[in-house]
Structure 1
Amino acid sequence: MTTIAELELPAEEFALWETLDAMPTARFEIVKVVARDRDCAIPYLWAKCDDLPALEDALANDPSVEEATRLEELEGEALYRMEWTYQIRVLVHILVEEEGTVLNARGGEGRWRFRVLFPTRDSLSTTHEFCENADYSITVEQVYELDSARQGRFGLTEEQYETLTTALDLGFYEIPREIDMESLAAEFDISYQSVSERLRRGHRNFIRNGLGWGSLDEDTSE
């Protein structure tokens, strides 16, 4: 069964460790990554930093970066095409050996967090075994099976996904609203406060994983 897993790996065991160490407030978000071969990965990623020139100096001195090309620049953010050739065996294994797809990846605060779609649950198990044998300190944070893949794509819990979709179906987001918060709470037989919290956390996780940056430490629970 197709599986989505949220994984965490220390940056020092992956990529951009020296850059993140030199620029502790910098954040990276991968938007696309291609494994050129077993020794090289080419990610396209957004970098968010208050001092882009200093960030590019750090990238130039980072042993995990063979090449970094700035493609676009916005206010405090830049899109880069990079070539990674150092300590990326986990990523290459996922993409090449297990035919996985990286749905989302963020780097910051000395670590990387990935949301990966594996074609089978065994692919995830094989990746975890590979990391253990290679002494990588990978942590499996959450696992979603195919029946919950829609919420897993954006890091939503089952309760958050159900509440958001039900609210949409019942017209909670229409102008004017076709159902109020009290009636929505009654649909789930929970309190006003509980449905409010589900909506807020669901909105936050959806926006954070679909559009925004967010903190790597944010709570994604119900």
Structure 2
Amino acid sequence: MSTIAEVEIPAQEFALRKTLEQVPDAEFDVVRVAAHDSKHVLPYIWATADDFDALNDALENDPSVDELRILEDLGDERLYRMNWVDQIRVVIHILIEEEATILNLRGKENRWRLRILFPTRDALSATYEFCEESGLSLDVRNIYEMSETRHGLFGLTEEQHETLLMALEAGYYDVPRDATADDLSDNLNISHQAISERLRRGHRSLVKNALAVGPGDGKE
């Protein structure tokens, strides 16, 4: 069965370590990453920073970066394309050796957080063992098993998935609403407080796992 894992890696053991040291306010959100061989990783990265001149200088001089290119400049954020050529052993292992898919990858301050879809639970275990044997740190934060439905893809429990779909079908999200939280609680035979908490936690999981997975995101 496919498995989704959220893991954290210290910035000093990953690509862009020098850049994050020199520009500590920088944040990176990788929207696509691929490994074409065992020596290069090609990411597309949205970046924010207080000083983009300093960020560009740091990236140009970062030993893990090659062939840096700015694709979009929106003023307060930029889209970069680059090659990662150093400190990428774990990414190479995940993408090539385990044939896994990196769903989200975000770095800021002293950590990177990855959300990875592994083809099997054994592939996750093999990645953890690879990091241990290589002297790399891999902190597994959450694990979700994929089920016959797709709720595991977004970190939803079965109850949250059922409740959100019921709310959608009942018109809870319509404007104006065709159903209230009381209507949903009556249908599920649970309290108003329980339905509110289930909806809130379900919304949080959707936002966290679909839009904002990163170090520090979604902490209780």
TM-score by length of 1: 0.89
CA distance in 2, matches of 1:150, 1:60: 41
Cα 1:205–1:56 change in 2 (3 A) is farther
The Cα of 1:137 is off from its aligned counterpart by 0.8
Cα 1:158–1:136 change in 2 (3 A) is farther
SS of the equivalent of 2:36 reads strand
Q: Residue in 1 aligned with 2:105?
A: 105
Q: What does 1:19-58 correspond to in 2, within 5 Å?
A: 19-58=19-58
1:29-48 deviation per Cα after TM superposition (whole angstroms, max 9, x unaligned): 11111112111111111112
Q: Which runs of 5+ in 1 are unaligned?
A: none
CA distance in 2, matches of 1:58, 1:198: 44
The Cα of 1:200 is off from its aligned counterpart by 3.0
CA contact (8 A) 2:208 2:217 kept: no
Q: Which runs of 5+ in 2 are unaligned?
A: none
Q: What does 1:158-197 correspond to in 2, within 5 Å?
A: 158-197=158-197
Amino acid in the other structure paired with 1:178: D
TM-score by length of 2: 0.90
Alignment of 1:7 onto 2:7: yes
Q: Residue in 2 aligned with 1:217?
A: 216
Q: What does 1:65-144 correspond to in 2, within 5 Å?
A: 65-144=65-144
CA contact (8 A) 1:29 1:107 kept: yes
CA distance in 1, matches of 2:117, 2:159: 21
Cα 1:66–1:8 change in 2 (3 A) is same
Aligned residues: 220
CA contact (8 A) 1:51 1:76 kept: no
Amino acid in the other structure paired with 1:13: E
The Cα of 1:214 is off from its aligned counterpart by 6.8
Superposition CA RMSD, Å: 2.1
Amino acid in the other structure paired with 2:132: E
